[in-house]
A and B are shown apart, each in its own frame.
Chain A
């Protein structure tokens, strides 16, 4: 399984695209929003948590269709499905690899973009923590969406339509944690709920994703 993880990571880095594209998109959102909304620091500070979370979510969405597409095209997904490791494990590893190449970098650059968005000082640790806790859920849920659409020719748009409603709880709790923190309110509840979603999703959703991949390979 570690070999599979390393292989996926190598592929993602070598194929270019996936790795840099999400980050560039995230940066673009943080640049475009002030241009659209206006430069008042107070306004930007107020909307910063939400915009950064939505930006991270959309950036994550961009690379979802690659999770299975390449493997499906060259037939290695069929091999993986018949490999000795259970497909649930394969799917979980793929979600993990996706998180390492998108969620993790997004989390690490988010303070920089918070700077662009005039995020109040108290918000930075919360932004980092909430993204670090929440983005794994985005990758796992996204893997489920990718598994549903793996056999489709033009699944990209459908994938977004399927995945975005599933992102609602993660987005709400993640952005709410930062927003409440920036206002100086208690943040334990949203953090606990966010962590609960990530843990629950990581534990259960790989089964559904693996079922979807099996159906699609039949």
Chain B
């Protein structure tokens, strides 16, 4: 029998596979995060210019990266739901929403805390920070729409449409914000992205942390999708009970 990726769209198959994958993902996430953060926090030198604040990079860059990737995953899952009507896909998108929002908040908080000593202010309307604030609003709207619509299939359809339209507008906003800030101050010198010129001492623990965040995202999405599938099952059973 030919195995295809769509096998995993069957809720039962998904529950079986995810119950095996979940402990591994969770363990890996924990391991990577502990190793990466301890390595970064205790065993890396200070940057000659930024002092010890460079240690914030181990939280800031991975969370920002995953905040965007979570949205992309939601977009992919929404498209799959609209095209192939696999319930697991819609539920995975639903499960990813709050996770993405939390990552966005972590990126914002660490960015603000980093900005305080570097720029002398908690909040600068830096294009990147502003874009993340807008991204957080997109996440909020998406989650709110899921909660507001009662019928699960209608909710999945509507949030999918919102996710697709929202993606286009999120990209537009990113460019709009870039454009808007040019007149105020030179954005590039305030840029938080040090990936290009980051030295090896910082680079390897950062990689481990990024791996940790990816696994953490995977763990949480699997866990939350499993919960959502169970919620559906409870609802279906209760409906049957009422019918009987």
- Chain A interface, DSSP helix/strand/loop, else mixed: helix
Given contacts A149-B148, A169-B173, contact A211 B161 (CB under 8 A): yes
CB-nearest residue of chain B relative to A218?
Answer: B154
Q: Which of B134, B138, B180 has the most CB of A within 10 A?
A: B180
| Interface presence of B15 (CB below 8 A) | no
Q: Which residues of A contact B137 (CB under 8 A)?
A: 161, 164-165
| Interface presence of A191 (CB below 8 A) | no
A99 to chain B, nearest CB (A): 19
| Interface presence of B234 (CB below 8 A) | no
Query: Is the beta-carbon distance between B161 and A166 smaller than 8 angstroms?
Result: no
| Interface presence of A33 (CB below 8 A) | no
Type the 1/0 row for B164-190, where 1 means its CB is closer than 8 Å to any CB of A. 111001001101110110010000000
Count of chain B residues near A, Cβ 8 A: 26
Query: Is the beta-carbon distance between B169 and A161 smaller than 8 angstroms?
Result: no
Count of chain A residues near B, Cβ 8 A: 30
Query: Is the beta-carbon distance between B179 and A172 smaller than 8 angstroms?
Result: yes
B145 to chain A, nearest CB (A): 6
Query: Is the beta-carbon distance between B149 and A152 smaller than 8 angstroms?
Result: yes
Query: Is the beta-carbon distance between B149 and A165 smaller than 8 angstroms?
Result: no
Query: Is the beta-carbon distance between B162 and A162 smaller than 8 angstroms?
Result: yes
Q: Which residues of A contact B177 (CB under 8 A)?
A: 168, 172
Query: Is the beta-carbon distance between B165 and A166 smaller than 8 angstroms?
Result: yes
Query: Is the beta-carbon distance between A148 and B164 smaller than 8 angstroms?
Result: no
Given contacts A172-B180, A215-B154, contact A165 B161 (CB under 8 A): no
Q: Which residues of B contact A208 (CB under 8 A)?
A: 161, 164-165
User: How far apart are the CA atoms of A212 and B166 in the complex, in Å?
Assistant: 14
| Interface presence of A155 (CB below 8 A) | yes
Type the 1/0 row for A135-158, where 1 means its CB is closer than 8 Å to any CB of B. 000000000100011011001001
Query: Is the beta-carbon distance between A165 and B138 smaller than 8 angstroms?
Result: yes
| Interface presence of B144 (CB below 8 A) | yes
Selected from B157, B164, B166, the residue in CB contact (under 8 A) with A165 is B166
Query: Is the beta-carbon distance between B145 and A197 smaller than 8 angstroms?
Result: no
Q: Which residues of A contact B134 (CB under 8 A)?
A: 165, 168
Query: Is the beta-carbon distance between A215 and B173 smaller than 8 angstroms?
Result: no
Selected from B158, B161, B166, B176, the residue in CB contact (under 8 A) with A169 is B176
Query: Is the beta-carbon distance between A173 and B179 smaller than 8 angstroms?
Result: yes
Interface residues of B in 25-71 (CB under 8 A from A): none
Beyond A151-B154, A161-B144, A176-B179, 11 extra complex contacts between A and B, CB < 8 Å = A148-B145, A158-B148, A165-B134, A165-B141, A165-B169, A169-B173, A169-B176, A180-B183, A211-B161, A215-B154, A216-B154
Q: List 13 A-B contacts (CB under 8 A).
A: A149-B148, A151-B154, A158-B145, A161-B144, A162-B144, A162-B145, A165-B138, A169-B173, A173-B176, A190-B179, A197-B172, A205-B165, A215-B154
